[in-house]
Amino acid sequence: MDRTAFLFDLDGVVFDTEGQYSEFWREMGVKYFSDGNVGAGIKGQTLRQIFDVYFPGNTTAQEDIRKALNDFESRMEYPYVPGVERFLEELRTGGCPAAIVTSSDRSKMRNVYRAHPEIRSLFADIFTAEDFSRSKPAPDCYMLGMEVYGTLPERTFIFEDSFNGLQAAKDSGGKVIALATTNSRSDVSPYAELVIDDFTGLTLPYLLQML
């Protein structure tokens, strides 16, 4: 059980996409609630969680939003967070398993694969919302990653940016690395052992010193 694993959220961690999602949910908030701030509270949640909280029983709105989101995600840009490709290659050559653990579903991931077919080779596994019953802020998704790789929480590095994701990572017992891509460094620091702006300059030996 001395293996070390690396688990990555997707949006705001691997891809710098949170700004685009913020605009989408701002528009949905204005359309359905006349409130452009609704989107701030849903980061890190699955679409089903969002529907259950904000649109319970409203199947018409749910279907309209699902279609709008699918169309939006098919046209999105998916720029990598600076340095993440290099860091993932360092993990691969170092023999360290790395996985995406995202609240996004497989439909969204098909859009990602079209934009970045190489991402399948950057990660050993990609876990999506369909792979766990409770999504973030519950820790289930990250505990699943630990189980799959046979790693202890204290030997599992988790990279997150949203508050729901950071809470899930912290409650899993893993070593949390917070990215200040979505929220400020001061706001994410209580959840994490390390805060970074991106992966520039981050190395595997540096992280292994934290074990």
Determine the pLDDT at residue 5.
97
Q: What is the structure's pLDDT at 173? A: 98
pLDDT of residue 106: 93
The string of pLDDT tens digits covering residues 128-152 is: 999 998 889 999 999 999 999 999 9
Q: Is the pLDDT of residue 22 over 90?
A: no
pLDDT greater than 80 at residue 43: no
| Residue 2 banded pLDDT, cuts 50, 70, 90 | confident
Higher local confidence (pLDDT), 99 or 34: 99
Alpha carbon distance 25, 68 (integer Å): 11
* Strand partners of residue 159: 8, 177
Q: What is the 3-state secondary structure (H, E, C) of the chain?
A: CCCCEEEECCECCCECCHHHHHHHHHHHHHHHHCCCCHHHHCCCCCHHHHHHHHCCCCHHHHHHHHHHHHHHHHHCCCCECCCHHHHHHHHHHCCCCEEEECCCCHHHHHHHHHHCCCHHHHCCEEECHHHCCCCCCCCHHHHHHHHHHCCCHHHEEEEECCHHHHHHHHHHCCEEEEECCCCCHHHHHHHCCEEECCCCCCCHHHHHCCC
The model's confidence at residue 153, banded by pLDDT at 50, 70 and 90, is: very high
Q: 143: which 2 tokens?
A: 């505990």
- The tokens of 107 are what? 């439909």
Q: Which two tokens stand for residue 207?
A: 């992280």
Alpha carbons 91 and 85: distance in angstroms, whole number:
10
Q: Report the distance separating Cα 97 and Cα 128, nearest Å.
A: 17
Give the span between the Cα atoms of 66 and 55, in whole angstroms: 12
Preceding amide of 56 cis, omega within 30 = no
User: What pTM was estimated for this model as a whole?
Assistant: 0.91
Residue 87's pLDDT is what? Answer: 98
Sign, CA torsion 160/161/163/165: negative
**pLDDT in the model for residue 19:** 86
pLDDT of residue 1: 52
Question: Residue 42 pLDDT more than 80?
Answer: no
pLDDT at 116: 96
**Which one, of 159, 199, 190, 163, lies nearest residue 177 by Cα?**
159
Choose among 111, 100, 137, 117: nearest CA to 20: 111
User: What pLDDT is recorded for position 47?
Assistant: 87
How large is the average pLDDT for residues 147-171? 96
Provide the token pair at 96.
Answer: 């360290």
Segment 191-197 shows an average pLDDT of 98
